[in-house]
Amino acid sequence: MILANDELKKLISLGRLKIDPLSPDTVRENGLDLRIGGEYAIYAYEGTVVKPCELESTRHLFRIVKADEVVIPPRNFVLLTTEEYVKMPEDVVGLANLRSTLARLGLVIPPTVVDAGFEGNITIEVVNESPNTIVLKRGVRFLHLILVKAEGRAAYAGMYQGQRGVTPPKGLKREC
């Protein structure tokens, strides 16, 4: 069941869903609109062979940029972070979508789930499928998070719990 505006406001007022900072236009008809934070990550190298199964961390592969503008080269991607620190209830899951206005410019994001019980800034891969460089500004609403009621409860316990700012992906060395 998708949670609509009144249910989202209820979760926030009860303190079960936390969004900091909470802007007046964050809670929408059927989800939350979150803003671009003050940093992003982009690959530091081109033409490198990346073997996730041999890496503990991928941080060295990315350049973290603190800026008021995000520059996304054509047919490339960046990792964006939300300005908002979000704390999800243990019985609600978030389905991340790019706002359609940005999608109409050629930007896309892969299917992304924000797990029940997750807490932190949300890092999202934004891909520029267009032939043009796209420049976005800090504070622009870019991510539409649809919240769905889950059956039962779960507590996210992954390595991204409590993350602040943009977070490059973990290596998969321990999983392969």
Q: Are 173 and 88 spatial neighbours (Cβ–Cβ below 8 Å)? A: no
Q: How far apart are CA 140 and CA 32, in angstroms?
A: 13
Quick check: 114 and 90 in contact, CB under 8 A?
no
Q: For residues 175 and 109, what is the distance between their CA atoms, to the nearest angstrom?
A: 25
**Which residues are CB-contacts of 54 (< 8 A; sequence separation ≥ 6)?**
171, 173
Q: Are strands 112-114 and 92-98 parallel, antiparallel or unpaired?
A: antiparallel
- Catalytic residue, chosen from 56, 125, 129, 151, is 125
Task: Note if 119 is an active site residue.
Answer: no
Catalytic residues: 125
